[in-house]
Amino acid sequence: MITNLTNSHLNDENFNLYHGDTLEFLHSVPDGAINLIVTSPPYNVGKEYEVKTSIEKYLERQEQVIRIMYDKLAPDGSICWQVGNYVDNGENKKIRGYHESCL
């Protein structure tokens, strides 16, 4: 496990691990260049490392990122996207099926 990256990325002959702004990085990658994307985006629950926004703005941002990730995938590539949930008026709600509607 890498807890502190001193460079903007780690790479060896088998993989590259990048740390930084998602959209900035994705715009620097040619379309069709990535075989596997593994991501766990912020859950928008107000943790100390994230800024909580409305669920609509959160989903809009996620849709934007997913669309770009999809374009960056190789034809046989895969996205492993860990989806969280959100709390609405004290009720814990899952974000199921959303990603299918934005591709």
Task: Write down all domains in the chain, each with its CATH number in brackets.
Answer: 9-101 (3.40.50.150)
Of 4, 86, 102, 72, whose CA–CA distance to 42 is shortest?
86
- Cβ neighbours for 84, distance < 8 A, ≥ 6 positions apart: 41, 43, 44, 45, 95
Alpha-carbon distance of 99 to 65, in angstroms, equals: 11
User: Strand 73-81 vs strand 34-39: parallel, antiparallel, or unpaired?
Assistant: parallel
Residue-wise pLDDT tens digits, 5-54: 445 555 566 666 777 788 888 898 899 998 988 887 777 777 787 788 88
Tell me the CB-side half-sphere exposure of residue 76, using CA atoms within 13 A.
0
User: Strand 34-39 vs strand 16-18: parallel, antiparallel, or unpaired?
Assistant: unpaired
pTM of the predicted model over 0.75: no
Residue-wise pLDDT tens digits, 68-102: 999 999 999 999 887 767 667 777 777 655 444 44
Of 33, 32, 2, 30, whose CA–CA distance to 17 is shortest?
2
